[in-house]
Chain A
Amino acid sequence: MSGEGSALGARLRERDLAAAPAALNLLESVAPADREQAAALMRAVSPAELGGEAQGHIVGVTGPPGAGKSTLLSALIAAWRSRGATVALLAVDPSSRRSGGALLGDRARIELDPSDRGVLIRSTAAGERLGGIARPTRTAAEALAAAFDVVVIETVGVGQAETEIADLADTVAVVVQPGSGDVLQFLKSGIMEIPDVLVVTKADLGDLAIRTRRDLSAALRSLGSRATPVLAVSSIAPPSGIEELIGALAEHREGLQLGERRLRARRAGALAEFAAEQGERGLRALGGRPGAERLLAGQDPGLASPALLAALETAARDGAA
């Protein structure tokens, strides 16, 4: 069993997509032995090992239920594949509060060719965590970005979801359907952060879609954001706006200081993970969030997030001792 994690990591580094399912099994596991292997896997795909940031584009796609995310993703995946880009989709589904179980129905709504080895869809349950990001999703995205050209994280919700996803993704697209007044209100009131790209689906609805797009653009302008493109797409035959959306996502990525954004993401991920596991008491041992952030800033920027988490844990233990 020893070396399994680093072997899987090495295969991902070599862009061996067939290693992805087993890598995800490992990253999702909470068994202590698996956690060690997972850390080894992450080390193998860390910037230090890769000699830079993983080249895959991590795209967050979020929005309220029924906004048409899955249909949109079907069209997006097909368009990326037709360009030869490989795609991993991490779909995060809400879990039942009562039983903890989850119906992961999302892949049913995405059409793809089962013989196509260039696409991977993995559904995970959000678990107990609010805000929409399942625990292993951060490390999964980090690892898969070493092997796939595009890694999409899909979450459900408006308000908190895109805040968390913004910590993790290179580019965040918020998807709304025509007539979504709540999104407009969330944006204006600052409950929702300004996304990198706003997508209005169901453009076939005509006037309503045009009006929604106009209202969102106006709201963004009044908030002083002129950079966020607002795109109207239709996923039903004949699809429209998909090429423009792919262009907008790529353009955002090109304008990024990738190293900076990813480093911030890894630090935020380690901190979120630490806070979730050790709570406020753990944070106090590090001198609160500012103390933890200082500690993280002092770490080697080439480390993967599990190594950063380990640094926090060690410091908390030593500090408490």
Chain B
Amino acid sequence: MSAHEQPRLPEPDRPWMMRTYAGHSTAKASNELYRRNLQKGQTGLSIAFDLPTQTGYDPDDELARGEVGKVGVPISHRGDMATLMDGIPLEEMNTSMTINATAAWLLALYIATAEQHGVAQEQLQGTTQNDIIKEFLARGTYAFPPAASMRLIADMIAYTVEHVPKWNPINICSYHLQEAGATPEQEIAYAMSNAIAVLDAARERVPEERMGNVFGRISFFVNAGVRFIEEHAKLRAMSILWEELGRERYGVSDERHLRFRYGVQVNSLGLTEAQPENNVQRIVLEALAVTLGRDARARAIQLPAWNEALGLPRPWDQQWSLRIQQVLAYETDILEYPDIFEGSKVMEGLVSELLEKARAEMAVVAEHGGAVEAVPYMKAALVDSHRERIRRIESGELTVVGQNRFTETEDSPLTADAEGGILVVDPAIEAEQIEDVRRWRAERDQAAVDAALQELAATASAPAGSVNLMEPTIAAARAGATTGEWAATLREVFGSYRAPTGVGEAAAAAPDTELAELQAEVARLQEKLGRRPKILVGKPGLDGHSNGAEQIALRARDAGMDVVYEGIRLTPSQIAASALQEGVHVIGLSILSGSHRELIPAVIAALRDAGVQAPVVVGGIIPEQDVAPLREAGVAAVYTPKDFDITRIIRDILALIGEDGSRRASTTDGAQGTFVVVADAGA
């Protein structure tokens, strides 16, 4: 590079695209929020959908209970999409949708809405996340089995490359892998392996000469943690691997197509509930990881809010994060220089170290038969890495300021308001949305919808690759079908699926004194109860963030308990049936989506109806003011992200079983149970 003589660029670079991951309550409320955000200088949209929309259920589905409008906006049909984008020029806007299992459907609604406004699909710009493998590994909003999911993705790529050429049909996400505990080399290796699986599937669907365009339309969605030097090296390593992959595996030669393009949301896993104001510093430093070096700078950035470990951020919290980006881009001199790490021995050394480790891990995935086949392996590896991270925090090896070190603090004025400094979604929204979707169904042309869904089912039943699912999907969107109907039609043909939990394969913990104490306590309880203490760990609702639940399950097993863990997406009646049939002594529930106020009491009611009296503990992102109502509903203990010491949580649970056993011995022996909450933080 010729930058050696001239330390500055002739012209400063243009800033990256600035977004805020946003959406809540209703399409109308979210539209107002988007418009305000755009006025504040945001340059792109990033739509957060609620969990029912992400997993393909309408608001009136049993599984949607408590989740409607919580972590994002509910979009059930093209009417909702039109409201959401009202007054926003679709031909100019660059829209990112965090949508995966139902990505084809949401893109179809977006296309249908654009058509109504006279905007052709060729003009649309933006991206659908559409990375299903990481949903199986880390995020949990899958809907269909792996093969069918990969078919949908390949169909979308084949369709957009022809008809929506400015759309990035997929973002390979390493973001969620880091949230699930991935080390930098795992993050690189699994993301690249995942990209290979997608590109191999796409190669079967598009003409050879279009592979360059396909390759050039694949972007990444990455994470950046607070170790920002190493994180920057990670991104440089990814860009090297990506170019190599393009040239060697897919024969891409056009430089523009080979460029590694990524958007980023910086780390949520490291954000703390304790002294939450410290998260602002963390977010700033993490933003440096993705902006500092020009050769691996992000194309689009969205920053989490300081209070994500507490609950849902308010517009003001998100504004603060947008302002961080604006200060970086418009006040600092960061955009004025060529790559500032060029020639740095330290940076080069870090990059080659990461490349070496990542290549080794990619080889392991390839030996398993590629990313789709290796899902159970990768999942178990992530569970192990996350456990190691927790162990290091518990032991103090890894410092987390305000959490395991420097914990003395003044009261925070930031969380002093009645709602604890977070957004609380009005519970009446769910009923409104249920009514809305029913009205929509009643008022549309039912015959047209039936015909469109029939056509969709017929296409889905045809062999993969023979017909493209996007066309009947867009036709169904135009006809007025709903999210739940589209997904149900495909579930009918493809079957449904449960991803591996990763805990069964995880290795046993290395023995240590704390664990030995727990094991002795378990043995004592076993003597007293006559049976080995048995816990049910359950995740009610649609929330797929299972890291916390998995870690509790593992530690309970390592302590010697019998652990029933069924993975994510359970209804209250499923949890009650399992608790009863399994004869568990305690029940641990984990919820991070904010639906605990509805779902936990529903689970307790179902348990008691089934005759299960065992105590219940709850973990998750539970705001302080919700703890008392949960306890009143019958929850024995509540754990939040500040309770990072899992050994202590297990000790509490054992004590609870002991007390419950004593109380029961004085009455009659029936089925038992207790509620525990399992916590982790995550976006």
Residues of A within 8 A of B (CB): 1, 4, 20-22, 24-25, 28-31, 34, 96-105, 107-109, 111, 114-115, 120-125, 236-237
B563 within 8 A of A: yes
Q: Which of B237-245, B308-316, B526-534 contacts A (4 or more CB under 8 A)?
A: B526-534
Does the CB pair A103–B565 fall under 8 Å? yes
Q: Can you list 29 contacts pairing A with B, beta carbon distance less than 8 Å? A: A1-B668, A4-B669, A21-B580, A21-B581, A22-B583, A22-B669, A25-B671, A29-B529, A34-B530, A96-B557, A98-B508, A98-B511, A99-B508, A99-B515, A99-B519, A99-B558, A99-B560, A100-B519, A101-B522, A101-B557, A101-B561, A104-B562, A104-B563, A107-B566, A115-B573, A121-B581, A122-B581, A125-B532, A237-B495
Does the CB pair A101–B556 fall under 8 Å? yes
- Chain A contacts for B325, CB-based, 8 A: none
Does the CB pair A101–B562 fall under 8 Å? yes
- The listed residue (A22, A101, A102) touching B671 by CB distance below 8 A is A22
Q: Which of B336-344, B468-476, B498-506 contacts A (4 or more CB under 8 A)?
A: B498-506
| Shortest distance between the CB of B209 and any CB in chain A (Å) | 33
- The listed residue (B573, B574, B583) touching A24 by CB distance below 8 A is B583
Q: How far is the CA of A98 from the CA of B512 in the complex (A)?
A: 12
B interface residues, tally (CB under 8 Å): 47
- Chain B contacts for A99, CB-based, 8 A: 508-509, 515, 519, 557-560
- Chain A contacts for B530, CB-based, 8 A: 28-31, 34
Does the CB pair A96–B558 fall under 8 Å? yes
Chain B residue nearest to A23 (CB atoms) is: B583
- The listed residue (A22, A103, A107, A109) touching B670 by CB distance below 8 A is A22
B358 within 8 A of A: no
Does the CB pair A102–B583 fall under 8 Å? no
B564 within 8 A of A: yes
Q: How far is the CA of A123 from the CA of B581 in the complex (A)?
A: 9
Given contacts A98-B511, A114-B571, contact A103 B583 (CB under 8 A): no
Chain B residue nearest to A38 (CB atoms) is: B530
| Shortest distance between the CB of A38 and any CB in chain B (Å) | 10
Does the CB pair B560–A100 fall under 8 Å? yes
| Shortest distance between the CB of B108 and any CB in chain A (Å) | 24
Chain A interface mostly: mixed
B577 within 8 A of A: yes
Chain A residue nearest to B504 (CB atoms) is: A105
Given contacts A96-B508, A99-B508, 17 further A-B contacts (CB under 8 A): A1-B668, A4-B669, A21-B581, A25-B583, A28-B530, A30-B531, A31-B530, A96-B557, A99-B558, A101-B561, A103-B557, A105-B566, A109-B498, A111-B498, A114-B576, A123-B562, A123-B582
Does the CB pair B558–A29 fall under 8 Å? no
Chain A residue nearest to B566 (CB atoms) is: A108
The CB with the most chain A CB atoms within 10 A, among B494, B563, B564, is that of B564
Q: How far is the CA of A306 from the CA of B359 in the complex (A)?
A: 59
- Chain B contacts for A121, CB-based, 8 A: 578, 581-582
- The listed residue (A21, A30, A103, A111) touching B504 by CB distance below 8 A is A103
Chain A residue nearest to B579 (CB atoms) is: A21
B567 within 8 A of A: yes
- The listed residue (A4, A104, A109) touching B564 by CB distance below 8 A is A104
| Shortest distance between the CB of B406 and any CB in chain A (Å) | 34
| Shortest distance between the CB of B33 and any CB in chain A (Å) | 38
B600 within 8 A of A: no
Given contacts A103-B503, A103-B504, contact A122 B583 (CB under 8 A): yes
B553 within 8 A of A: yes
Q: How far is the CA of A96 from the CA of B522 in the complex (A)?
A: 14
- Chain B contacts for A31, CB-based, 8 A: 529-530
Given contacts A121-B581, A122-B581, contact A101 B563 (CB under 8 A): yes
- The listed residue (A1, A109, A115, A122) touching B582 by CB distance below 8 A is A122
- The listed residue (B519, B557, B571) touching A102 by CB distance below 8 A is B557
| Shortest distance between the CB of A73 and any CB in chain B (Å) | 14
| Shortest distance between the CB of A263 and any CB in chain B (Å) | 29
Q: How far is the CA of A236 from the CA of B148 in the complex (A)?
A: 12
Does the CB pair A236–B495 fall under 8 Å? yes
Q: How far is the CA of A103 from the CA of B566 in the complex (A)?
A: 10
Q: How far is the CA of A98 from the CA of B571 in the complex (A)?
A: 33
| Shortest distance between the CB of B321 and any CB in chain A (Å) | 37
Does the CB pair B560–A21 fall under 8 Å? no
- The listed residue (B531, B553, B565) touching A28 by CB distance below 8 A is B531
Chain B residue nearest to A4 (CB atoms) is: B669
Does the CB pair B560–A114 fall under 8 Å? no
Does the CB pair A102–B563 fall under 8 Å? yes
- Chain B contacts for A98, CB-based, 8 A: 508, 511, 558
Q: How far is the CA of A101 from the CA of B557 in the complex (A)?
A: 5
3 closest A-B pairs (Cβ-Cβ)? A31-B530, A29-B530, A101-B557
Given contacts A99-B559, A100-B560, A101-B563, contact A120 B581 (CB under 8 A): yes
- Chain A contacts for B581, CB-based, 8 A: 20-21, 120-122
Q: How far is the CA of A122 from the CA of B503 in the complex (A)?
A: 19
| Shortest distance between the CB of B47 and any CB in chain A (Å) | 31
| Shortest distance between the CB of B107 and any CB in chain A (Å) | 26
Q: How far is the CA of A120 from the CA of B577 in the complex (A)?
A: 9
Q: How far is the CA of A4 from the CA of B498 in the complex (A)?
A: 39
